[in-house]
Chain A
Amino acid sequence: SQQGEEDPQALSIQEGENATMNCSYKTSINNLQWYRQNSGRGLVHLILIRSNEREKHSGRLRVTLDTSKKSSSLLITASRAADTASYFCATDRWGGYQKVTFGTGTKLQVIP
């Protein structure tokens, strides 16, 4: 079963605009990660935020985490055509080992 639900399922923006995608999850977590998947390729890790953190930045990426609402958001600023990809959140919780569960993904299209 998939823990995270991303919203929106698809997003189309112009180059230079900001893109925001959201992830909601159901159970308590240790950490939340965001991954990017370009068409037909494997996933690439973007950023990790721990459950005791509220916000994290990495280059043009900004991630927030609200554990009380069980939600996270990923903001990509000044988007580029190369940002066109699917974005997945992945939650992990400890069950004697790290149990990672991926969400359903947001498909982002950045129009040049």
Chain B
Amino acid sequence: EAGVAQSPRYKIIEKRQSVAFWCNPISGHATLYWYQQILGQGPKLLIQFQNNGVVDDSQLPKDRFSAERLKGVDSTLKIQPAKLEDSAVYLCASSLLGLRDGLYEQYFGPGTRLTVT
């Protein structure tokens, strides 16, 4: 089974520029997550989709970050304009649709390492 694909793997931009990340989840996975992981810290959830809809974007800095999941499959995460503190690894993960009494593990992509200079 193919894993979660992400691109690009690395990106270096200057502050105030824009950048976009792409994620292709595992086929059939209804739930898609975007995390930000700053060096030395655990992943922080930015946004969680169930199919096309957003179920949690409480920690997404909406003034500069946006995300969409078209047709409930691929997703893009955009930062515009970028700040120095956005330097981090951006991880995409997917899972089967979780139910109240059931939980499915998340499968993570390799991540995109963003450096803002």
Measuring CB to CB, which residues of chain A are less than 8 angstroms from any residue of chain B? 2, 4, 30-31, 33, 40-45, 48, 50, 88, 90, 92, 94, 96-105
Contacts and interface: CB of A to CB of B under 8 A. Distances in A.
Interface string B49-72: 010000110000000000000000
Contacts of B41: 2, 104-105
A98 B107 CA distance: 15
A100 B108 contact: no
Given A2-B42, A97-B98, A48 B50 contact: no
The prevalent SS among residues of A at the interface is strand
Contacts of B91: 42-43
A69 to B, nearest CB: 21
A101 B55 contact: no
A60 B109 CA distance: 25
A42 B42 contact: no
Contacts of B43: 43, 88, 102
26 contacts: A2-B41, A2-B44, A30-B100, A33-B103, A33-B105, A40-B113, A41-B110, A41-B111, A43-B106, A43-B108, A45-B106, A45-B107, A48-B105, A50-B103, A88-B43, A92-B103, A97-B48, A97-B98, A99-B56, A100-B33, A100-B106, A102-B44, A102-B45, A104-B41, A105-B41, A105-B42
